[in-house]
Amino acid sequence: MNYKILKIKDIKKFIFKRQLKRFPYLNDVKKNPYTYFKARYYMYSSVILIFFLLKSRVTPNMVTIVYGLCGIIGCVFLTIPNINYNIAGIIIFFNKSIFDWSDGYLARIKYKTTLKGHILDSYGAHLNSIGFNVGLGFFVLNQTGYDVLIYLIVSIPFLYFGIPILLGKNLILDELRKNKIKDIFTKHNIGNADEKSNRKHNKKNNKIKYPKWMYYFKGFMDDRARTVDFILFTMIIDIYLNYNFSFYLFLIWYIKHLFRFFLLTYSGINSAWDERAIIEIKKINNGKKK
């Protein structure tokens, strides 16, 4: 694609076509009215941003880094006990995803998509999630004066990164990088003799159906835009009407994520996800089908 001759309407057509093909629900205003309008706000904003970025030396990874920095800067602004800084932080968190919607399309039009870009994008999402919730905690602390909240705030990063499964996946990748996959099989007695029993164990685990409340629980007070925007709107109400609605939302969010932390930790310790991952890798290395 010759990006030098692209006009705004060409970029709009490219982005809208790909985005609506990937996520058809973004085009259903009746079922998803808020998502419909918010997605278009992001898409139109990214069209304008990409149009100017194509004429610059800014790379997609630079845009992704800015996206990650929004989480840090927005967090700092929310921690300051000043209305103007708080409003600035709210504006940053409301608009941060414009960069997230722009970096990938900038890469597809002008450059090439890379694994490094995907990693940076995921890292930026984590920075924004942690930054927003830490900023929310300090905002509530400043609004209410409840100093005890500081103990909850400092534990927030651990609720995101203190899960054994996340560490375990990193260790597996590190072992693969060092080309020690055969040593892993030998050390942990994961071989052909155990493969049948492990396969039976996997089939049994795959049949497990989680109760409906688990799925509702996962989507409740998550990091999606509609949840974040609702909390941001509540913060604005608290600022100008001197209410404490965001305090209760913060407590609900914290209890939910604390429960999620213990649930995932228990699941990570008691399940055989790591052995299954290694067996799958072994099948791939041996040229077998999954």
| pLDDT by residue, tens only, the chain of 290 residues | 667 778 999 999 999 999 999 899 889 998 889 999 999 999 999 999 999 999 899 999 999 999 999 999 999 999 999 999 999 999 999 999 999 999 999 998 987 888 888 888 888 998 999 999 999 999 999 999 999 999 999 999 888 776 666 666 666 666 666 655 555 555 555 555 454 455 554 544 444 455 566 666 666 777 888 899 999 999 999 999 999 999 999 999 999 989 888 887 777 777 776 777 777 777 777 765 54
Q: Report the distance separating Cα 290 and Cα 287, nearest Å.
A: 9
The structure's pTM equals 0.81
Q: Report the distance separating Cα 233 and Cα 228, nearest Å.
A: 9
Output the CATH code of domain 57-285: 1.20.120
**DSSP string spanning 229-251?**
HHHHHHHHHHHHH---HHHHHHH
Tokens for 148, please give them: 């005890």
Domain layout of the chain by residue ranges: 57-285
Whether the CA torsion 68, 70, 73, 76 is positive or negative: it is negative
